[in-house]
């Protein structure tokens, strides 16, 4: 496949779909996504995440949701076991997918925004973890 620039929603959808195809196969984080998103909801999830990234890259107001609360809920469901390693793998797969399919300014922005989002979400989850009692 020839690399191209990210210029419209179809490109964002290709990125999101390809990325989640990798996620589903991943040994570390795949189980989290597969457990949280029922098979019959994957198409809706891909559309919602395409809205999210289209909003982030093209500043169109499509995404509606609360990613911080969603990720806190996921961490709670997994007994507060989500770690930096999970976010690191998420970023690795995101970068790999971008590098396989795209180049240019929007591709670079997608990487930078993902770094910032991952860092922010991890910190919000970390603050939400129960405190150890002595």
* pLDDT for the residue numbered 126: 87
Tokens of 109: 């922005």
pLDDT at position 129, please? Answer: 82
Neighbours of 121 (CB within 10 A): 20
Long-range contacts of 72-76 (CB under 8 A, 24+ apart): 72/124, 72/125, 72/128, 74/32, 74/36, 75/125, 75/128, 75/129, 76/128
Q: What is the pLDDT of residues 37-68, one digit of tens each?
A: 999 999 999 999 999 999 999 999 888 889 99
Extents of the domains making up the chain = 9-128
Name the CATH architecture for the domain at 9-128. Orthogonal Bundle (1.10)
Measured CA to CA, the distance from residue 72 to residue 39 in angstroms comes to 22
Q: List, for the chain, all residue ranges whose pLDDT scores fall below the cut of 50.
A: 134
Q: What CA–CA distance (Å, rounded) separates 115 from 88?
A: 9
The per-residue pLDDT for 130 is 83
At 78, is the secondary structure helix, strand, or coil? Answer: coil
pLDDT of residue 1: 67
């Amino acid at each position: 496949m020839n690399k191209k620039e990210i210029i419209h929603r179809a490109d964002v959808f290709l990125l999101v779909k390809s990325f989640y195809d990798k996620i589903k196969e991943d040994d570390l984080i795949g189980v989290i996504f597969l457990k949280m998103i029922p098979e019959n909801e994957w198409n809706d999830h891909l559309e919602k995440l395409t809205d999210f990234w289209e909003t982030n890259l093209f500043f169109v107001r499509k995404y509606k949701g609360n990613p911080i609360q969603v990720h806190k809920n996921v961490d709670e469901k997994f007994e507060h076991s989500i770690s930096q390693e999970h976010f690191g793998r998420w970023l690795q797969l995101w970068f790999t997918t971008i590098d396989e399919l795209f180049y240019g300014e929007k591709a670079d922005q997608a990487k930078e925004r993902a770094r910032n989002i991952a860092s922010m979400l991890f910190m919000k989850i970390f603050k939400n973890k129960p405190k150890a009692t002595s």
